[in-house]
Amino acid sequence: MIKIVLFGAGNVVSHLCTIFEKTSGIEVIQVYNRNQNSLSGLPENIDKTTSIYEIKDADIYIIALPDDVISDFSESISFINKLVVHTSGSVAMEALSDKNRKGVFYPLQSFSKNKGVDFSEIPICLEASNNSDVKFLKELGNKISKTVVEISSEERKKLHLSAVIVNNFVNYLYKVGSDLLAENSLSFDLLIPLIKETAYKVESLTPFEAQTGPAKRNDKKTIEKQLHLLKDSPHKELYREMTNAILREYKSNLSG
Ligand SMILES: NC(=O)c1ccc[n+]([C@@H]2O[C@H](COP(=O)([O-])OP(=O)(O)OC[C@H]3O[C@@H](n4cnc5c(N)ncnc54)[C@H](OP(=O)(O)O)[C@@H]3O)[C@@H](O)[C@H]2O)c1
């Protein structure tokens, strides 16, 4: 049985609790958070504490706290020589305190508390400072996911950058589209099939091949009309920047 202590009670911890709880051979023996309120949303049967001095003995300690907090928090832990990992895409493993054995257990997905996920589909990107800890993290990762990869801190930084672009930026564009529709009393639901197809398409085509639209075709009149529709909108510059980026990307094809 792998015994786990989780630090934090946010999006990642709530999802890790759910998957670890239903996986045989894994037991979440405790969750620590600085305040009780956030802990109350976690499964009742799990032991919880707000005291950093009452942490139980476990095989692995997983810190799922904001990126800027991870380093100082790992220093504040009182035990030594245990395996302590964080779940961040952008924080180097070395940022963890030297008091304990270091590692990373980064689930590459966007987690929101009340939206379920299929953990088996989520790549687990891991790293550790010694081979036996890498082996242990692989064993843990393989229990919950079909895709477990060893990735260095340097590689993970680049992976996280791409993840921010394809997830956070794209989601922000959904918000822009949703606002434009709302201004015209149209439902965002009308766009859902298009959003799904756009996502599914890159499973079989490269993003370069999958691109469509006025900028890809260099339909100047359509682009001008859409810029005109946005003449008083705060999103006009965003439209112009994105259009120019796509025009630049496909320019050689159009003139060729
Ligand atoms: N969300 C994602 O999609 C995602 C995906 C992969 C990896 N990650 C990584 O996982 C980690 C956690 O992300 P999250 O989305 O779960 O964060 P979150 O939902 O914002 O939760 C953060 C947790 O940290 C606690 N916290 C905040 N500031 C603190 C401080 N100064 N000292 C001690 N505790 C503090 C919060 O406690 P209170 O409840 O008391 O405020 C909360 O329990 C981050 O490193 C993130 O990069 C996130």
User: Is the distance from CB of 47 to CB of 56 less than 8 angstroms?
Assistant: yes
- 156-255: in CATH 1.20.210.10: no
Q: Which amino acid is at 30?
A: Q
Predicted pLDDT of residue 213: 97
Q: Which of 210, 211, 200, 209 is nearest to 247 (CA)?
A: 211
Which of 12, 35, 70, 159, when mutated, tests ligand 1's pocket best, judged by the most ligand atoms within 8 Å of its CB?
Answer: 12
Lookup result for tokens 């477990």: 148
- CA 114 to ligand 1 center in whole angstroms: 15
- CA 149 to ligand 1 center in whole angstroms: 23
Lookup result for tokens 């091949």: 209
- CA 141 to ligand 1 center in whole angstroms: 20
pLDDT at 254 over 80: no
3.40.50.11540, 3.40.50.720, 1.10.3720.10, 3.40.920.10: which CATH number matches 2-151?
3.40.50.720
Can you give the length of the chain in residues? 256
Q: Which amino acid is at 35?
A: N
Residue with the smallest CA separation from ligand 1 atom 28 is: 66
Q: What is the pLDDT of residues 175-200, one digit of tens each?
A: 999 999 999 999 999 999 999 999 99
CA atoms of 27 and 253, how far apart (whole Å): 55
145: left (phi over 0), alpha (psi -120 to 50) or beta: beta
Query: Which DSSP string corresponds to the chain?
Result: -EEEEEE--SHHHHHHHHHHHTSTTEEEEEEE-SSHHHHTTS-TTS-EES-GGGPPP-SEEEE-S-HHHHHHHHHH----SSEEEE--SSS-GGGS-TTSEEEEEEE-S---TTS---GGGS-EEEEESSHHHHHHHHHHHHHH-S-EEE--HHHHHHHHHHHIIIIIIHHHHHHHHHHHHHHTT--GGGGHHHHHHHHHHTTTS-HHHH--SHHHHT-HHHHHHHHHHTTT-TTHHHHHHHHHHHHHHHHHHHH-
- CA 91 to ligand 1 center in whole angstroms: 13
Measured from the Cα of 37, ligand 1's closest atom is: 39
pTM: 0.92
Sketch the domain layout of the chain as residue ranges: 2-151, 156-255
Predicted pLDDT of residue 256: 38
Predicted pLDDT of residue 251: 85
Q: Which of 54, 47, 42 is nearest to 16 (CA)?
A: 42
User: How is residue 214 written in tokens?
Assistant: 């006025």
Q: What is the pLDDT of residues 51-84, one digit of tens each?
A: 999 999 999 999 999 999 999 999 999 999 999 9
Question: Mean pLDDT, to the nearest integer, of 137-160?
Answer: 98
The residues lining ligand 1, judged by C-beta closer than 6 Å to any ligand atom, are 8-13, 33-35, 38, 64-67, 69, 73, 87-89, 107, 110-111
pLDDT at 43 over 70: yes
Q: Which of 96, 84, 76 is nearest to 153 (CA)?
A: 96
pLDDT at 86 over 70: yes
Backbone angles phi, psi at 27, to 5 degrees: -135, 125
CA atoms of 253 and 256, how far apart (whole Å): 5
Please report, rounded to a whole number, the percentage of residues in the chain having pLDDT higher than 90. Answer: 96
Cross-strand bridge partners of residue 83:
101
Predicted pLDDT of residue 235: 96
